[in-house]
Amino acid sequence: MERANRKIEARGHWGSKTEFLLAVAGNVVGLGNVWRFPYLCYSNGGGTFLIPYLVFVVTCGVPLFLMETAMGQYTQEGGITCWQRLCPLAEGVGYAGQLILLYSCMSYIIILAWALFYLAFSFSSQLPWASCGHMWNTDNCNFAGKNFVLNWTGQTNSTSAATEFWEHRVLSLSGGIEEVGNVNWEILLCLIAMWIICYFCIWKGIKSTGKVVYFTATFPYVMLLVLLIRGLTLPGALQGIMFYVYPDPQHLLDPQMWMEAGTQVFFSYSITVGSITTLGSYNPYTNNCYRDSFWLCLLNSCTSVVAGFAVFSVLGFMAHEQGVAVEDVAESGPGLAFIAYPQAVALMPLPHLWAVCFFIMILLLGLDTQFVCMEVIITSVTDMFPTVLRRPWRRELFLLLFCLFCFFSQIVMVTEGGIYVFQLFDYYACNGACLVLLSVFQSLAVGWIFGAERMCDIIEDMTGSYPNFIFKLCWKYLTPLISLASFIYSLVEYQPLIFNRWYRYPVWAYMLGWLLALSSILLVPGWALGRLLAIRGSLKQ
The CA radius of gyration of the chain, in Å to the nearest whole number, is 23
Q: Is 368 annotated as a binding residue?
A: yes
Of residues 36, 9, 11, 58, the one with CA closest to residue 298: 58
Distance CA 16, CA 339 (A): 40
Of residues 133, 26, 40, the one with CA closest to residue 330: 40
Distance CA 439, CA 97 (A): 10
Q: Is 300 annotated as a binding residue?
A: yes
Backbone φ and ψ for 58, nearest 5 degrees, come out as -75, -40
Which amino acid is located at 323 in the chain? Answer: G
Distance CA 275, CA 146 (A): 46
Q: Is 268 annotated as a binding residue?
A: yes
285 three-class SS:
coil
CB–CB of 190/417 below 8 Å?
no
Q: Is 33 annotated as a binding residue?
A: yes
Distance CA 226, CA 105 (A): 29
Chain-centroid distance, C-alpha 293: 18
CB–CB of 322/315 below 8 Å?
no
Q: Which alpha helices (H) appear in 281-393, and where do they start and end?
A: 289-322, 334-335, 341-346, 351-384, 386-389
Q: Which helix (H) or strand (E) holds 499?
A: strand 498-499
Q: Is 29 annotated as a binding residue?
A: yes
Question: Which 3-state string (H, E, C) describes 153-206?
Answer: CCCCCCEEHHHHHHHHHHCCCCCCCCCCCCECHHHHHHHHHHHHHHHHHHCCCH
Which amino acid is located at 121 in the chain? Answer: F
Q: Is 457 annotated as a binding residue?
A: no
Q: Is 254 annotated as a binding residue?
A: no
Binding residues for Na(+) are 26, 29, 33, 268, 300, 365, 368
Which residues fall in the annotated binding site?
26, 29, 33, 268, 300, 365, 368
